[in-house]
């Protein structure tokens, strides 16, 4: 479903990713762990199409399409979703307006009927209830004044509405208490399907108790330095990342 | 009846003065002479001529392009067809006066009499004995106001009786640029709210053809004790229109003036308002949005005079500038000696959509009292790249995402409009601007 080959990314002339490879099959959940500053968010932004990153080499394909050649909105339409580590606050734009325009833009691009205001509200409310969100969060400006936990729930809400083929969750667990973590994890698990894949970026093993990954990768020095099963996450939690930071002996 | 017939012509006036106003909408008959107060105003204008950028108040707005245009007054018998489409804002105004290039259109105007409300025309009153005293006495601090006094032929005269709440708005509709030739009009309005009364005045200014025109409005507004005026102004002037408005508002104790101006088109617009808060408890809210593209220019100049203690003013202006447009905000707040316990809040924000767009913002505080709470802020910026990316990453196409962000930038200034229906109508105008061909561009 997602194939990343030999990806090299630089920011302001500084190399962040160098020779990054990843292959995520349909229905799989892959976890990427790594120390702070190792390039996890850089990877997620490059996949989503944010400006300011120079891809100096490599290829990324989503369902056989050249992802890097597409505009951010085309990637979303093609089924890519990124839950931001730091969701952006947009004062003045009501969350409901944003969610509906987003959902309808994606539906239109996928050849589906657009939802009217009532249909949208029904759909959003049902999902919000599962995520423990109140109606009032539709009226507020996008992420503006939301607590850390509310922002992350709003990200998961968008994910459940947009029904992506491939969802990347960038530290969606950070800043969440255990109850919120469980709600968010339930949201993700409820979406798991044979034709939907996840890349879960996390700093801690904790989230992976709730969202059990098929593969765990360690990102350090610009590439994946080790891959394994879910046990690898527990091992890293014990030993830390220090071993991976120095060039391999 | 022609409007100019009401103008008693008498003393011959010197040729240089006639030359100074020629091409600015002066009637040909002016060369034969003018009576006392017109002549005084003419002399005052001729002495300074059109404002230039050397004048502090006109530093950022250049009227020199007016000089090359030969503006004539519209024919006094100019009549629009009875089914001429009318730009309008109010749903059910109690009164609607329609002017075409400054000439009243009786067939398109309608009035529902209301107790305690007196609505009339300047033209009907010009020949009255007190006209000379009143128009001649006006301070005429600016050349454009003097020009208006010299050439004004019509406009609104509105007054209320004490304690009357006028529930349906009075709407003025000005349609400009109807003819082939360049046309100038100098409408003059006088609004007087007696103590304890309230009213809503709506002005709609729109281009009605391709003709070039100058609309040089002057408004004199007096708000009595505990009286309240809501004033809504929408400007969707033609692409070659010059709109210059000078308003003078005086507010008595516990009176309130609330104005909202939406400028959505016009080659050059200048909205200047001077509010004098004369008694304790007098308050004003000045708010507005301007949406500019191409080479449009919009100047908002406000002068708030706190002349009494316990007076307050709130100003919020937001501009969206595309193309090579230019915005100006000059906000002066004067707190006079002894005017303690003053609340002043001023905010001016501009969103620049293109590299060629520019805004000049100049807050100016002059405070001669010590117990004063005044805040002011001015900011100019571009669309936020992170916000744009966030929206696009959710599948929203770039143009749509930009529109959403522009709306988000603007929306809260419309909260200053207290009437829900009027606010919705104004916002719909703003939306139309986004949807218009060519903009907002990248
Ligand atoms: N937009 C940017 N401008 C400059 N440096 C950046 C930018 N984005 C990321 N970096 C740098 O790239 C490196 C990787 O950052 P990031 O991808 O955020 O790491 P992680 O998410 O793993 O903590 C860091 O050294 C960070 O400072
Ligand atoms: Mg990160």
- Relative to the CA of A43, which ligand 1 atom is closest? 17
ipTM of the complex: 0.97
Residue B39 banded pLDDT, cuts 50, 70, 90 = confident
Return d(Cα A135, Cα A222) in angstroms, integer: 42
Q: Give the residue on B whose Cα is nearest the Cα of A76.
A: B395
Atom from ligand 1 closest to the CA of residue A44: 17
Mutate to test the pocket of ligand 1, among A39, A55, A168, A241 (most ligand atoms within 8 A of CB): A39
Going along chain A from its start, the domains and CATH numbers come out as: 2-245 (3.40.50.300)
- pLDDT tens per residue, range B91-110: 888 999 999 999 999 999 99
A59 and A6 Cβ atoms separated by less than 8 Å: yes
> Which range (A26-35, A92-101, A216-225, B81-90) has the least confidence?
B81-90
pLDDT per residue as tens digits for the range B416-441:
999 999 999 999 999 988 877 555 54
Is residue B420 in some structural domain? no
Higher pLDDT, A186 or B130: A186
Residue A171 CA: which ligand is closest? Answer: 2
The pLDDT tens digits for B234-243 are 999 999 999 9
Q: Is the CB of A32 under 6 A from ligand 1?
A: no
Environment class of B215 (CB within 10 Å of its CB; exposed 0-12, middle 13-18, buried 19+):
buried
- Write the pLDDT tens digit of every residue in A230-239: 999 999 888 8
Structural domain includes residue B418: no
pLDDT at B137: 53
User: Taking 70 as the threshold, does the pLDDT of residue A91 lie above it?
Assistant: yes
Query: For ligand 1, is residue A42 a contact (CB within 6 Å)?
Result: yes
Q: Decide if B10 is inside a domain.
A: no
Is residue B404 situated within a structural domain?
A: no
The CB of A16 under 6 Å from ligand 1? The reply is yes
**Could you tell me which of B284, B227, B276 has the C-alpha nearest to residue B257?**
B284
In angstroms, what is the span from residue B408 Cα to ligand 2's centroid? 28
- Distance, CA of B39 to CA of B203 (rounded, Å): 30
pLDDT more than 90, % of chain B: 74
Give the model's pLDDT for residue B437: 58
Q: How far apart are CA B301 and CA B269, in angstroms?
A: 11
Does A71 sit within 8 Å of B392, measured CB to CB? yes
pTM comes to 0.92
Ligand 1 site, residue A41, Cβ cutoff 6 A: yes
What pLDDT, on the 0 to 100 scale, is given for residue A173? Answer: 87
Q: What pLDDT is stored for residue B133 in this prediction?
A: 56
- In this structure, what are the phi and psi dihedrals at residue B107, rounded to the nearest 5 degrees? -70, -25
Q: What are phi and psi of A124, to 5 degrees?
A: -65, -45
Q: Per the CB < 8 Å rule, is A90 touching B409?
A: no
B270, two tokens: 């200048």
pLDDT at B34: 65
**In this structure, is residue B187 part of a structural domain?**
yes
What pLDDT score was predicted for residue B410? 95
State how far Cα A167 lies from the chain centre: 5
Rounded Cα–Cα distance for residues B344 and B364 (Å): 12
Q: Is A184 in the pocket of ligand 1 (CB under 6 A)?
A: no
Closest CA to B331 of B287, B384, B388: B287
Residue B28: pLDDT band (50, 70, 90) is confident
Do the domain assignments include residue B262?
Answer: yes
pLDDT tens for each residue of B175-204: 999 988 999 999 999 999 999 999 999 999
Answer yes or no: do A88 and B390 touch at CB < 8 A: yes
Q: What is the pLDDT of residues B145-178, one digit of tens each?
A: 999 988 988 999 999 999 999 999 999 999 999 9
- Can you state the angle between helices B36-48 and B143-151, rounded to 10 degrees? 150
Which residue range forms the structural domain that includes residue B325? 15-382
- Region A97-111: mean pLDDT is 98
Cβ partners under 8 Å of residue B29, min gap 6: B4, B7, B9
Which of A158-162, B9-13, B114-118, B272-276 is predicted least confidently?
B9-13
Spatial neighbors of A109 by CB under 8 A, at least 6 apart, are A73, A74, A76, A77, B395
Overall domain count for chain B: 1
Mapping DSSP to helix (H, G, I), strand (E, B) and coil, where does residue A66 land?
Answer: strand
Of A84, A106, A141, the CB nearest to B395: A106
pLDDT tens by residue, A125-148: 999 999 989 999 999 999 999 998
| Residue A85 CA, closest ligand 1 atom number | 21
**Burial profile B259-273: b = 16 or more Cβ within 10 angstroms, e = fewer:** bbbbbbbbbbbbbbb
Residue B440, preceding bond cis, omega within 30 degrees?
yes
Evaluate whether residue B5 is within a structural domain: no
Residue B146 resides in a domain: yes
Q: How close A23 comes to chain B (CA, Å)?
A: 22
Among the partner residues B391, B401, B411, nearest to A92 by beta-carbon distance: B411
């Amino acid at each position: 479903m997602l194939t990343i080959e030999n990806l090299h990314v630089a920011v302001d002339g500084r190399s962040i990713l160098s020779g990054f490879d990843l292959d995520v099959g349909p229905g799989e959940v892959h976890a990427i762990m790594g120390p702070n500053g190792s390039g996890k968010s850089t990877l997620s932004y490059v996949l989503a199409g944010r400006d300011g990153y120079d891809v100096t080499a490599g290829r990324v394909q989503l369902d056989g399409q050249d992802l890097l050649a597409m505009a951010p909105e085309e990637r979303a339409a093609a089924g890519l979703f990124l839950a931001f580590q730091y969701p952006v606050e947009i004062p003045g734009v009501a969350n409901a307006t944003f969610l509906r325009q987003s959902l309808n833009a994606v539906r239109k691009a996928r050849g589906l009927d657009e939802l009217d205001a009532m249909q949208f509200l029904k759909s959003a409310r049902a999902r919000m209830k599962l995520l423990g969100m109140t109606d009032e969060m539709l009226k507020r400006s996008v992420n503006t004044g939301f607590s850390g936990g509310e922002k992350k729930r709003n990200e998961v809400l968008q994910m459940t509405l947009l029904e992506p083929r491939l969802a990347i969750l960038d530290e969606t667990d950070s800043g969440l208490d255990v109850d919120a973590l469980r709600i968010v994890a339930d949201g993700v698990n409820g979406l798991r399907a044979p034709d939907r894949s996840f890349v879960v970026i996390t700093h801690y093993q904790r989230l992976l108790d709730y969202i059990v990954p098929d593969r765990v990768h360690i990102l350090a020095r610009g590439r994946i330095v080790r891959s394994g099963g879910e046990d690898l996450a527990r091992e890293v939690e014990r030993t830390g990342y220090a071993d991976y930071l120095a060039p391999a002996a | 009846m022609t409007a100019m017939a009401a103008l008693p012509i008498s003393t011959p006036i010197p040729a240089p003065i006639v030359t100074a106003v020629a091409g600015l909408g002066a009637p040909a008959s002016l060369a034969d002479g003018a009576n006392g107060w017109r002549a005084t105003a003419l002399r005052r204008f001729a002495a300074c001529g059109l404002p230039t950028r050397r004048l502090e108040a006109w530093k950022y707005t250049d009227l020199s392009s007016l000089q090359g245009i030969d503006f004539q007054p519209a024919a006094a018998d100019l009549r629009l067809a009875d089914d001429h489409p009318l730009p309008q804002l109010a749903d059910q105004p109690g009164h609607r006066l329609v002017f075409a290039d400054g000439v009243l259109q009786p067939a398109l105007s309608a009035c529902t009499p209301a107790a305690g409300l007196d609505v009339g025309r300047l033209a009907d009153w010009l020949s009255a004995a007190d006209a000379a005293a009143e128009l001649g006495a006006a301070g005429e601090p600016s050349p454009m106001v003097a020009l208006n006094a010299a050439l004004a032929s019509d406009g609104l005269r509105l007054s209320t009786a004490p304690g009357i709440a006028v529930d349906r708005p009075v709407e003025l509709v000005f349609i400009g640029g109807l003819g082939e030739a360049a046309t100038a009009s100098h409408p003059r309005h006088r609004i007087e709210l007696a103590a304890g009364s309230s009213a809503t005045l709506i002005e709609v200014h729109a281009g009605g053809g391709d003709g070039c025109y100058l609309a040089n409005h002057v408004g004199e507004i007096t708000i009595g004790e505990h009286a309240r005026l809501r004033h809504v102004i929408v400007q969707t002037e033609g692409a070659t229109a010059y709109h210059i408005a000078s308003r003078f508002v005086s507010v008595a104790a516990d009176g309130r003036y609330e104005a909202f101006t939406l400028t959505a088109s016009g080659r050059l617009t200048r909205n200047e308002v001077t509010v004098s808060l004369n008694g304790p408890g007098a308050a004003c809210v000045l708010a507005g949005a301007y949406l500019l593209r191409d080479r449009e220019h919009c100047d908002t100049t406000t002068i708030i005079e706190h002349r009494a203690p316990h007076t307050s003013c709130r100003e919020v202006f937001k501009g969206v500038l595309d193309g090579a447009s230019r915005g100006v905000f000059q906000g002066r707040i004067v707190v006079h000696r002894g005017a303690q316990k003053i609340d002043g809040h001023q905010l001016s924000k501009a969103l620049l959509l293109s590299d060629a767009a520019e805004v000049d913002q100049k807050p100016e505080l002059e405070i001669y009292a010590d117990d004063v709470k005044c805040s002011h802020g001015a900011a100019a910026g571009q669309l936020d790249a992170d916000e744009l990316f966030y929206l696009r990453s959710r599948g929203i196409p770039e143009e749509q995402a930009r529109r959403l962000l522009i709306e988000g930038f603007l929306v809260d200034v419309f909260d200053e409009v207290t009437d829900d229906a009027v606010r919705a109508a104004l916002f719909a105008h703003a939306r139309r601007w986004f949807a218009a061909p060519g903009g907002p561009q990248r």
